[in-house]
Each structure stands twice: as C-alpha cells, then as structure tokens.
Chain A
Amino acid sequence: MTTVYVADTGVFVRCGGPDNDKFQRLRRPVRQAGVTLRIPKRVYEELGGDPATDAYPSGTVPYQTGSRKA
C-alpha cells in the first residue's frame, strides 16, 4: 500500500515561505518522515492564479520554489 500526502491551498497560505516559523514547523516533520507532499494541479493553479492577491501579505506564496512536476 502506498500513502500519498496531499496538501491543499490552505496549508501554503498558512505556512507562507521559508522565512516563516510555521513553514519551518511543517518542513521539519515532513523531512524527518522522509515524505514529500503532493500538490494537485488545481492547488498549484490556485496558488498562482490570481495576481490581485499580491496585495495581501499572505497572498504571495513562493509555491514555485519548493515544488516540481511529478
């Protein structure tokens, strides 16, 4: 059996980028467990799909930096 860890948009909005404490608190256990988070295409598109959200501090998630195509 394979377990897949899927992350929704809210996880990235909540955690922000690498400078954010919440990001570090997520990354540590994920790394320790040796797993990767799968991001559905829909979530990927949501994270970068609205330039208008650039005005919000939490609306600019550096999602491209930490993700790659499966």
Chain B
Amino acid sequence: MAQSPSRSDRLPIRELQTVADLLETPALARLYVYIIQHGPVTVSETVDELDIPQGTAYEYVRDLETAGLVEKTREQRPYGYDAEAIALTLSTDGETRTITPSLIAAVARRDEDADIDVYIERHGLDGLAVALEYAREYVDGTVNHRIAARELDLSPLEAEVILQALEPVAVEYADPTV
C-alpha cells in the first residue's frame, strides 16, 4: 500500500547531507551561524558581513533552504531568510553525539582561529564536540584545564589552548541544548 506523503516538509536524509557539508565547509558554517544569530537577513547582507563571494552565498543559502535549515521569511525580493536551530543526534554503537548550532559555530571559527583548526586536525570533529562540552564547564568555572586534560587525555597545555579557543562559543551558546 502506498504511504501518503509525510505532512512534514523536513527531509531528514537531505538535512543530514547538508549538516555534513556544514561540518566540512567553514564558510557555509559561518553563513548558517550568521543567519541563526541575525536572521531574518537577506543574502546580500551576509555577503557584506562575511566576505563570501555573492554567487557562493546564493548557492549556500539555496542548499540550506532545500535541506530545510533556513526558510524564507518574505516572498518578495529581496528575500529574507531565517534559520532553524538544528539538533541532529547520531547514534553509533555505544556513542551518541548531537550536532548543535554551537558545534557548527565552533567549526565556523576554524578559518579564523588556527588553534581550533589544529585541534580538529588532531582530534577530529568528535573530539571538538567533546572539548566544547568541557569549554562550557570551563566558562562556568566547574572545570579547569588540568581536569579537562586528564579526562580528555591531552597535555594540560593543549587542554588550556582549546578551552580558551572555544571560550567565545561556550559563552555565546551557554545553553547545552544548542
């Protein structure tokens, strides 16, 4: 029997593909984070603010819209766009990871903050996601670099470097669900 189409406009697998792109493409991540923080915005506003070529920005916004991660807020030109906060939870054997706007915001800083870039090279995006959880506690004052180092199996210096690098993201996204 044919299933009636879902009433939801969400396309989970399409969304997953775009989230994977967000994690791999810092400029796309910066655009998404900008729309979350400042939306509704027009594409030309993002071009002015983010130093992304105009054609690329239109392409990125179209991809995000197709995936349901941003939506038009007005139907006349220039279109305004607002973003939906993602919370994509992935489960593999024994490990669960939720991809949140704060993780995307951390990835978005990769181009401008080489400390984050090196950390991702060394420990991957899973390592970054865990470090971000510690950065929140570091900002709250409940964890210092020595505790983080011991629990993340890093040297104290490397722990301090990444906790400070992630501090602005942890401050901005204090709520752990985002």
Q: A residues bordering B, Cβ < 8 Å?
A: 9-10, 13-14, 46-47, 49-50, 52-53, 55-59
**Residues on A with beta carbons closer than 8 Å to the beta carbon of B115:** 56-59
**CB of B118 within 8 A of chain A?**
yes
Contacts of B165 in A (CB 8 A): 58
Q: Pick the contact of B157 from A9, A14, A57 — CB < 8 Å?
A: A9
A58–B145 Cα gap in the complex (Å)? Answer: 14
Tell me how far the C-beta of A19 lies from the nearest C-beta in chain B, rounded to whole angstroms: 16
Query: Distance (Å) between the CB of B30 and the closest chain A CB?
Result: 20
- List, in ascending order, chain A residues with CB within 8 A of B178's CB: none
CB of A50 within 8 A of CB of B157, answer yes
Other A-B pairs beyond A46-B157, A46-B160, 10, CB < 8 Å: A9-B157, A9-B160, A10-B160, A50-B156, A56-B119, A56-B161, A57-B115, A58-B115, A58-B165, A59-B158
Q: Does B7 contact A (CB under 8 A)?
A: no
- Is B98 on the interface with A (CB-CB < 8 A)? no
A10-B114 contact given A46-B157, A47-B157, A52-B155, CB 8 Å threshold: no
Q: What's the dominant secondary structure at chain A's contact region?
A: helix
Residue in chain A with minimal CB distance to B163: A10
- Give which listed residue, B114, B145, B157, B164, contacts A49 with CB less than 8 A: B157
Count of A-B contacts judged by CB separation below 8 Å: 51
Task: Determine if A55 and B145 form an interchain contact, defined as CB atoms under 8 angstroms apart.
Answer: no
Contacts of B157 in A (CB 8 A): 9, 13, 46-47, 49-50, 53, 59
A47 vs B161: C-alpha distance when bound (angstroms): 11
Residues of B within 8 A of A56 (CB): 114-115, 118-119, 158, 161
Please determine whether B155 and A49 come into contact, CB atoms closer than 8 angstroms: yes
Tell me, in angstroms, the Cα distance from A47 to B160 when the chains sit together: 10
Q: How far is the CB of A63 from chain B (nearest CB, A)?
A: 10
Q: Say yes or no: A59 contacts B156, CB within 8 Å.
A: no
- Shortest CB–CB separation between residue B126 and chain A, in angstroms? 19
User: B77 contacts the other chain (Cβ, under 8 Å)?
Assistant: no
- A residues near B158, Cβ cutoff 8 Å: 50, 52-53, 56, 59
Q: Which residues of B sit under 8 angstroms from A9, Cβ to Cβ? A: 145, 156-157, 160
Interface string of B158-173 (1 = CB under 8 A from A): 1011001100000000
List B111-154 residues whose CB lies under 8 Å from chain A. Answer: 114-115, 118-119, 121-122, 145
Q: Chain B contacts of A59 at CB under 8 A?
A: 115, 157-158, 161
